[in-house]
Every structure is written in structure tokens, then in C-alpha cells.
Amino acid sequence: MLLRLVRLELFKIARKPRTYIAFGAILAIVLLLQLALYKDGETYLRFALQSLEGSFGITGTIINGYFVCFVILQTLLVHVPLLIALVAGDSIAGEANMGTLRLLFSRPVSRSTVLLGKFIAALLYTLGLLVFMAVAALFGSLLLFGPGDLIILKSDMIVILDSGDVMWRYASAFGFAFLAMSTVAALAFFLSLFAENSIGPIIATMAVVIVCTILTTMDIPMFNALKPWLFTNHMLNWKGFFERPPDGAEIARSAALLAAHIVVFVGATLLIARKKDILS
């Protein structure tokens, strides 16, 4: 029955116009960044290399497909949570708003199975979005700019990765990004249970992400003890795959913490939904 429910949920997601907003937005941003770097990449590089000019002299072509993809991911993965929340936040609240939640919950299927089906469908949507992003950002950039060694510019150093050593890092980074975005989907899904309108959980999800991100980036002693437990502190650790060598233990710790958040959010949703009166 769970598989059937997942299929039905995917069918519903596919038929909703809002589903395609995210794909459209990603394609637009990727194309804009590719176009900008194609036309004016040298200006961007000069700006990025300002702090390193005294220490390094770089000759040759830095801007290639791998480099452009890295720039796109850095820009885009901060905004993707909103696109994920658009669908995950709507998954329960949208049904409550239409009145179809009472229909789902009065069918001969347990509430937990219905909700699990919905969450798995939201995960598959998230996966679809990231695969689309990978194709557009990585393969699109490779097509447009060609391959080459990946040079990552940091504030005080440069990491150079051989072109043959890059693809597995991107695959792992997208895998990690899927876990990070699934955490956002789980949060939106959890908040969706308490609303009868999808706008509420979407805004609430973004508010939580923004507040946690601020707490993560601020260096205030009071919040420092909290930081290791905030999911936003770990969401951008996909960049760890582009270190030389990657800090496997740190990445695994982040992945475990994100997975734990998913389990807590989804578990709480199922537990609360079991006894919740459906009054919508």
C-alpha cells in the first residue's frame, strides 16, 4: 500500500503547477550565472582573486565547466530550501486547505502510511530537483565551458583539483546536498501538519532556516554551544568534498546529524498525526 500511496502522491505532485516553479527557477538561475560567467568571467575572477594577488600568480584558464558548476552550487544551494519548502510545506497543509485530508484520513489506510507516502514523495521530488540541478549546472557548464582542473578560490588559499579527480566529488556533494535538502523537506513536512494553508509552513520553514543560519554564522559565546546541533551548521558541508583530502569524519558527523533531524521531524509528524483531530 505504501508504494501505491507514493505513486499517487507523485502523480499529484506532477499535476500541480507549483511543482514546476522550482525547476523553472533553478534553470533560470543556472542559465543566468552561466551567461554572466561566459560574458564577464574575468571580472568575477579579478574580484575573487583580490586578496590572493600578493601571494599567487595564476596563468591559464581558470573558468571551466567544473569551476562554473562550483560557483553555481555555492550560490544556489542557499536558496533551494525555499523551493523544497514550496512542495513539502504544501503536502499536508494543502490537503487540509482543500478538505482532502479528511478524505485521506477516512480511507482504510493508517494515517502513518498516508503520511509516510507523502514524505517519501517529497523526498523523491527533492531528489528530482537536485538531479535536474546537477544536469543543468554540471553538464550544462561542461558543455558550455569545457572540462579542466577545478580551482577553488578561498579567502586565504587556493585548492587545485585535477580534472580527473573532480567528478566523484561532485557526485558525493550532490548526495550530501540531497541529505541537507531532505532535512529542510522534513522540517516543512512537520510544520505542514499544524496549518490549514500552505503559506504558513513555507514561511515558517524559511524563518527557521534563516534564524538557525544567523545563529550559525554569528560568533556569540552564548550560541556557540548550540551551533554543533543546528542543522544549518551542517547543511553546507557538501563543500567538504572539495577539500584535499576531504575530512571524512567531519562529513560523516554532519550527515549523521542531518539524518537524525530527519528522523526526529518525521517521527514527530507521525506521532502527533495519529491522535490529531481533523477539523478542517
Partner 1 sequence: MPPVISVSHLTKQYPGLRAVDDLSFTVEEGGVYGFLGQNGAGKSTTIRMLLTLVQPTAGRIELFGKELYAHRHEVLAQVGTVIERPDLYKYLTAYDNVRLMSELSGVRADRARIMKQLEQVGLADRATSKAKTFSQGMKQRLGLACALIHNPRLLILDEPTNGLDPQGIADVRRLLRHLSREEGKTILVSSHLLAEMELVADSMLIIDRGRKVAEGRVQELLNPDDMRVELTAADPASARAALARSTWATRLEPGADRLLLRLARTEVPALNRDLVALGIDVLALQPRHSLEDYFLSITQSAHAPAAR
Q: Would you say 52 or 278 has its CB closer to partner 1? A: 278
Q: Would you say 12 or 227 has its CB closer to partner 1? A: 12
Q: Would you say 108 or 164 has its CB closer to partner 1? A: 108
- CA 83 to CA 133: how far, in whole Å? 12
Q: How many CA atoms lie within 13 A of 137 on its CB side?
A: 29
Minimum distance from residue 48 beta carbon to partner 1 (Å): 45
- Dihedral angle, C-alpha 227, 70, 155, 62, nearest 10 °: 170
Q: Would you say 1 or 78 has its CB closer to partner 1? A: 1
Minimum distance from residue 278 beta carbon to partner 1 (Å): 4
Minimum distance from residue 206 beta carbon to partner 1 (Å): 24
Minimum distance from residue 107 beta carbon to partner 1 (Å): 5
Minimum distance from residue 120 beta carbon to partner 1 (Å): 16
Neighbours of 256 (CB within 10 A): 12
Q: How many CA atoms lie within 13 A of 140 on its CB side?
A: 24
- CA 111 to CA 19: how far, in whole Å? 24
Whether the bond between 147 and the residue before it is cis, its omega within 30 degrees of 0, is: no
Q: Would you say 98 or 167 has its CB closer to partner 1? A: 98
Signed CA dihedral, 61, 63, 65, 69: sign only? positive
Q: Would you say 11 or 56 has its CB closer to partner 1? A: 11
Minimum distance from residue 19 beta carbon to partner 1 (Å): 10
Pair 133, 170: CB distance under 8 Å: no
b/e sequence 117-129, b meaning 16+ C-beta within 10 Å:
bbbbbbbebbebb
Minimum distance from residue 116 beta carbon to partner 1 (Å): 14
Pair 132, 83: CB distance under 8 Å: no
- CA 84 to CA 65: how far, in whole Å? 26
Pair 136, 102: CB distance under 8 Å: no
Pair 186, 118: CB distance under 8 Å: no
* Interface residue list for partner 1 (CB under 8 A): 1, 4-5, 8, 11-12, 15-17, 98-100, 102-110, 275, 277-279
Q: Would you say 17 or 57 has its CB closer to partner 1? A: 17
